[in-house]
Amino acid sequence: MDKICILDMGSQYTHLIARRIREHGVYSEILPNNISVDELKQHKPIGIILSGGPNSVYEENSPQLTEDFFTYIKKEKIPVLGICYGFHLIIHQLGGRIKSFTQKEYGKMELEILKPGKLLDSLDKTEIVWMSHGDQVEIMPEGFEILAKTSTCPIAAYANEGFGLYGVQFHPEVNHTPKGMTILDNFISKIVQAKKQWKLENWIEKAIESIKREIGPKDRVILGLSGGVDSSVVAVLLQKAIGNRLHSVFVNNGVLRKNEEVEVQETFQQVLKFENFHYVDAADLFLERLKNVEDPEEKRRIIGHTFIEVFESKTIELEKTYPDIKYLAQGTIYPDRVETSATSSVSAKIKSHHNLTLPDDMTLKIIEPLKDLYKDEVRKIGIKLGLPPNIIKRHPFPGPGLAVRIIGAIEKDKLSILRDADEILIDEIKKAGVYDNLWQAFCVFLPLKTVGIMGDFRTYEYICAIRVVESLDVMTANFAKLDWELLEKIGSRIINEVKGINRVVYDISNKPPSTIEYE
Ligand code: XMP
């Protein structure tokens, strides 16, 4: 299958580029910027994109391409598109000059097309584009021609047709560049001439065939099922491939949302007719270990380790009856595997990692059927597999659950308050028809008491924060500008119906600098 490789220069948008290419029907993969030419060759790219990045090309330790990169792409005639930092890097490494401009270009700018060439074909004379870098190309080496400029950036797009090098100062992959998809399609279709072979239609049959081949006719598979989109899609896919040789284990960790354990059991046992669905109620064990724990990282660590322990002992128990359990299935998806330069340096410091790895002494072989897919692709596959919409459209829910939405120590009464408030929020958001447009909507329990008045009585109760965000790529998120009347309704229902809350606040912070979750 034709493949486009993206070399990650550290941009927060690298995954977005890869997704856009796939939306155009071409398979794409992200690779580190310091990859050797020999390794790159193994991937057999038919086109390469150099992503944006926060650095300046002259900075010490800024990402650079290996010297033989240009020899390789020239010899193999592999077209390259540089975006933002990648745009500067091509010029810099081929002997041109980059300059940090005092009049920096950020945000929406008007692009004037001087000569469309293949890259800017079928665009209007002027187009809106999204800029996010202070550096600009000042002098280009021989063979390059200017395709477009803006009022303060004389070289905003270039081409070197002979060499197969193209570049744009702006970001075609973001929605703020309205014709960005056309530019990427021009690169894919007119320059690279890639065959559009990445279709999810055939994906399911192929995946089922390959699971059958890998697992063999007798072996059994165990899966930790959370009820979230990824593990649910893996479960249904495996059920189609190996039927009741799949054992799904759903652990109640005591920090689930209201009725979640009931709903997940009903969906899998009654609706989807899973035979070997195992419910493990370990709520008391988790809550006992979380008692008086206030530190967010400690909460995550305890929940992670306890989960592994509970899952492992259930596996050992099942192995006694089913010695053919040989595989452990995981709902790993593509972004979980590819730590892009942008995320790996930052996220490691912010929060301990989300997805757990099981201990080395578990001798099960790992199977990860979704490992090459993006979330939106997983959702599409889930719909085709007949998973109910309540699972497919579900907002992401963190592994440590409500534990990271109760600030400070977790207590049963606080959990119950938070569950009731959260249920009201989700109910109203769904009734207003906005749930599917939001990335996440949830309540957070703030262990602060303030004064209120209810009827003739003075109250002294806790605060509930409402967090509702929109996001495309999770790296950035904006608080949702919900309708005031909807917010008012949510607030008054929570205050009136949930005992223990007498004040509701709406969180107006964006990410960055805030994160989506509170802990
Ligand atoms: P933050 O709070 O870092 O969250 O902006 C980004 C996204 O990740 C989810 N999240 C988690 N998911 N385990 C998970 O499976 C975790 O420990 C975890 N922490 C945050 C969060 O809900 C948001 O969608």
Written as one string, the DSSP assignment of 279-308 is EEE-HHHHHHHHTT---HHHHHHHHHHHHH
More confident residue, 68 or 106: 68
Going from the Cα of 492 to the center of ligand 1, the distance in angstroms, rounded, reads: 28
Going from the Cα of 400 to the center of ligand 1, the distance in angstroms, rounded, reads: 9
Establish whether residue 399 lines the binding site of ligand 1, counting it when its CB lies within 6 angstroms of any ligand atom: yes
Predicted pLDDT of residue 488:
98
Q: For residue range 169-196, what is the model confidence (pLDDT) as tens digits?
A: 999 999 889 999 999 999 999 999 999 9
Predicted pLDDT of residue 175:
87
Establish whether residue 474 lines the binding site of ligand 1, counting it when its CB lies within 6 angstroms of any ligand atom: yes
Shortest-distance Cα residue to atom 11 of ligand 1: 398
Task: Answer yes or no: are the C-beta atoms of 385 and 240 closer than 8 Å.
Answer: yes
Q: Phi, psi at residue 157, to the nearest 5°? A: -160, 145
Q: Average of pLDDT values for 400-423?
A: 98
Q: For residue range 271-319, what is the model confidence (pLDDT) as tens digits?
A: 999 999 999 999 999 999 999 999 999 999 999 999 999 999 999 999 9
Mutate to test the pocket of ligand 1, among 394, 402, 442, 516 (most ligand atoms within 8 A of CB): 516
Predicted pLDDT of residue 353:
40
Predicted pLDDT of residue 449:
98
For residue 228, the ligand 1 atom closest to its alpha carbon is: 15
Predicted pLDDT of residue 132:
87
Q: For residue range 422-442, what is the model confidence (pLDDT) as tens digits?
A: 999 999 999 999 999 999 999
Tokens of 113: 């097309």
Tokens of 322: 């089913």
Percentage, residues of the chain above pLDDT 70 = 95
Predicted pLDDT of residue 103:
65
Going from the Cα of 121 to the center of ligand 1, the distance in angstroms, rounded, reads: 40
Predicted pLDDT of residue 209:
95
Distance CA 68, CA 51 (A): 19
Positions of E strands within 348-388: 365-367
For residue 347, the ligand 1 atom closest to its alpha carbon is: 3
How big is the CA angle at 82 (ends 74 and 346), to the nearest 5 degrees? 125
Mutate to test the pocket of ligand 1, among 300, 306, 354 (most ligand atoms within 8 A of CB): 354
SS3 457: strand
Q: Average of pLDDT values for 448-471?
A: 96
Distance CA 466, CA 491 (A): 9
Confidence of residue 208 (pLDDT cuts 50, 70, 90): very high
Whole-structure pTM value: 0.84
Which has the minimum average pLDDT: 114-118, 247-251, 335-339?
A: 335-339
Q: For residue range 94-146, what is the model confidence (pLDDT) as tens digits?
A: 999 999 876 666 788 999 999 999 999 999 999 999 998 889 999 999 999 99
Task: Answer yes or no: are the C-beta atoms of 252 and 280 closer than 8 Å.
Answer: yes
Task: Answer yes or no: are the C-beta atoms of 370 and 234 closer than 8 Å.
Answer: yes
Going from the Cα of 397 to the center of ligand 1, the distance in angstroms, rounded, reads: 7
Amino acid at 235: A
Distance CA 507, CA 487 (A): 11
> What is the per-residue DSSP string for 155-198?
-SEEEETTTTEEEESS-TTSTTSTTHHHHHHIIIIIII------
Shortest-distance Cα residue to atom 22 of ligand 1: 398
Is the pLDDT confidence value at 233 over 90? yes
Establish whether residue 402 lines the binding site of ligand 1, counting it when its CB lies within 6 angstroms of any ligand atom: no
Mutate to test the pocket of ligand 1, among 12, 305, 351 (most ligand atoms within 8 A of CB): 351
On average, the pLDDT of the chain sits at 93
Going from the Cα of 514 to the center of ligand 1, the distance in angstroms, rounded, reads: 12
Establish whether residue 344 lines the binding site of ligand 1, counting it when its CB lies within 6 angstroms of any ligand atom: no
Which has the minimum average pLDDT: 308-322, 342-356, 368-382, 403-417?
A: 342-356
Establish whether residue 440 lines the binding site of ligand 1, counting it when its CB lies within 6 angstroms of any ligand atom: yes
Establish whether residue 516 lines the binding site of ligand 1, counting it when its CB lies within 6 angstroms of any ligand atom: yes
Q: Average of pLDDT values for 337-363?
A: 55
How big is the CA angle at 391 (ends 387 and 392), to the nearest 5 degrees? 70
Q: Report the 3 state secondary structure along 83-127.
A: ECHHHHHHHHHCCCEEEEEEEEEEEEEEEEECCCCCCCCCCCCEE
Give the catalytic positions in this structure.
84, 171, 173
Q: Average of pLDDT values for 325-342?
A: 84
Distance CA 293, CA 299 (A): 7
Is there a cis peptide before residue 116, judged by omega within 30 degrees of 0? no
Is the pLDDT confidence value at 358 over 70? no
Predicted pLDDT of residue 49:
98
Contacts with 447 (C-beta within 8 Å, 6 or more apart), sequence order: 406, 407, 408, 414, 462
SS3 331: coil
Predicted pLDDT of residue 129:
96
Q: How many CB atoms lie within 10 A of CB 412?
A: 10
SS3 2: coil
Distance CA 87, CA 65 (A): 12
